[in-house]
Amino acid sequence: MSFINTPPQISIPITGSAETFPVHQIYCVGRNYQKHISEMGYSQGKTVPFVLFLKPPDAVVQNGQTVCMPGFTNDFQHEVELVIAIKKEGSKISEKLALEYVFGYSVGIDLTCRDLQNEAKKKGRPWTFAKSLQNSAPISDITPVEKCGYLQEGNIQLSVNGNIRQKNDLKNMIRPVQKIISELSQFYTLFPGDIIFTGTPDGVGKLKKGDRIFAEIDGLEPLTITIN
C-alpha cells in the first residue's frame, strides 16, 4: 500500500534501546488522587467519576526540550503524572489481565491552561483548549516493565527551579494502573502505541518563562523541561 503523503510519526525513545515507541492515541485520566481532588474544589462524592480527556499525538514533547507558553493563557500549570505505554490491542480488558498490556512507563507532565479550563467548566464547554494542545505532554523516555516491574507504589515528585512543588506516592492513586486500563478499555479499543496519563497528585501550580522543571518517579527515567 502507498500513501499520498507522510504525516509526522510521533515517537518516544525507549531506555536502553535504539528502537522508539510510535505514539497512537494519548488518553488522560483526571481526578485520581484525593488531595488533588480537594485542591481543585470538587465535592467529595462516594465514588470518584472516571474523568477522561484526550491529547493529540503531537502533544508529545521529548525529554530535555523547551516548551513555549501559549500566548492565550495567564495560568499555565504543571501536573506530574505516571504515564503508561500500551503494547497490544485489546478491548473490555479485565483488571486481572490488564497488566499484560503494559509495555512500560514514563514520567509525564500534563501541561494545562488552568484559566481556560476554569472558564470551560463554568460555561459547560469541553476542555480542549485548556488540555489538548500541541506540545502539552512532555514525556520522559519509556522504561520497559522488564526493567522497572509493574508500578503500584513509589515516590512521584516535581520541582520547579529546585523547589519541590508536587510530592506524593503512586500507591495513593484512586484508580491504580490495572483499573485504569480495564475501565478505559470498556469505552475504547486500546492499540499498541497508546499512551495513558494517570492523573496528577496535589501541588499543581503556575509556571513562568524561564522555569526549569524536573519531574521524577522511582525507577523511571526522570524528565527535564524548560518553559519559555
Write out the residues near Mg ion by the rule CB under 5 A.
79, 110, 200
Burial 52-91 (b: 16+ CB within 10 A, else e): bbbbbbbbbbebeeebebbeebeebbbbbbbbbbbbeebe
Rounded to a whole number of angstroms, the minimum distance from the CB of residue 121 to Mg ion is 14
What is d(CA 146, CA 90) in angstroms, rounded to the nearest whole number? 21
| Residue 172: DSSP 8-state | G
Q: Cα–chain-centroid distance for residue 166? A: 15
- Which grid cell is 207? 509556571
- Which grid cell is 164? 519541590
Rounded to a whole number of angstroms, the minimum distance from the CB of residue 197 to Mg ion is 6
**Residue 213 near residue 76 (C-beta atoms within 8 A):** no
Q: Give 14 or 80: the residue with its C-beta nearer to Mg ion.
A: 80
Q: Give 79 or 141: the residue with its C-beta nearer to Mg ion.
A: 79
Rounded to a whole number of angstroms, the minimum distance from the CB of residue 6 to Mg ion is 31
Q: Backbone dihedral region of 124: left (phi > 0), alpha (psi from -120 to 50 degrees) or beta?
A: left
Rounded to a whole number of angstroms, the minimum distance from the CB of residue 4 to Mg ion is 36
Q: Give 79 or 221: the residue with its C-beta nearer to Mg ion.
A: 79
Residues 6+ apart with CB under 8 A from 43: none
Q: Give 168 or 200: the residue with its C-beta nearer to Mg ion.
A: 200
What is d(CA 69, CA 111) in angstroms, rounded to the nearest whole number? 10
Question: What residue number has its CB nearest to Mg ion?
Answer: 110
Rounded to a whole number of angstroms, the minimum distance from the CB of residue 96 to Mg ion is 27
Q: Give 79 or 194: the residue with its C-beta nearer to Mg ion.
A: 79
Q: Give 14 or 165: the residue with its C-beta nearer to Mg ion.
A: 165
Q: Give 157 or 200: the residue with its C-beta nearer to Mg ion.
A: 200
Rounded to a whole number of angstroms, the minimum distance from the CB of residue 86 to Mg ion is 18
Rounded to a whole number of angstroms, the minimum distance from the CB of residue 10 to Mg ion is 19
Residues 6+ apart with CB under 8 A from 3: none
